[in-house]
Amino acid sequence: MKKVLVLCAALVGFVHAAGAATPFLKGDAAAGEAMTVACSACHGADGNSAVPNFPKLAGQGQRYLLKQLMDIRDGARPIPTMAGQVDNMTNQQLADIAAFYASKPVSGSRANPELVGLGETIFRAGIPARKVAACSGCHSPNGKGNSLAGYPALHGQHPEYIALQLREYRKGYDDPAGRTNDGDTKIMRANAFGLSDKEIDAVASYAAGLK
């Protein structure tokens, strides 16, 4: 029997080459649920984690989740706490797990009112002077992403988690120890590189609070 998948680390972030790089496999949500029993300790029974250390997986598109699982398995997205957890999983098993979480609604989140103004500006208009693109272009104006293209949803996610991933992408711009699985165009690394800590916190808070 395959080792039960323990998702005690990040699967959700921001990656922009998922549609082209990940083969589409139709997942079986029921089969996936049977492989995620242990995941509930960190991510909740339905993929809605209770603490920001662990991302909410519920409501993410299947294509995006599948790419993250494959990247973790294949070493493109190293996460120490996930080491060995998906090594023996087939693409189909990972697709089933992704389908299960994609079938669940995300629980929602709240934006910090003090950060909404700055966050909304960055999310909707970017920062042209620093070549930071508007987040809404890929993640949609309501933050629900584009599941067919493999662009993740941001609404309802823990804002702390979104901010962490942006900082990891910013680090990955010139340091391979950061997050680098956003494709050859480095779109997330390039955008995050142009953001200050305050701007990251603001846009993360705003995006998380979208409905």
127 and 187 share one domain: yes
Residue 3 pLDDT more than 50? no
Which domain covers residue 130, as residue numbers? Answer: 116-209
Higher pLDDT among residues 22 and 48, named by residue:
48
Q: What is the pLDDT of residue 142?
A: 97
| Confidence check: pLDDT of 205 > 50 | yes
108, part of any domain? no
Residues 133 and 67 in one domain: no
pLDDT digits (tens, 9 = 90+) for 58-69: 999 999 999 999
CATH number at 82 reads 1.10.760.10
Q: How many domains does the chain have?
A: 2
Nearest to 152 by CA among 15, 8, 23, 10: 15
Q: Which of 59, 74, 102 is the last residue before a domain boundary?
A: 102
Residue 39, pLDDT > 70, answer: yes
Same domain? For 36 and 83 the reply is yes
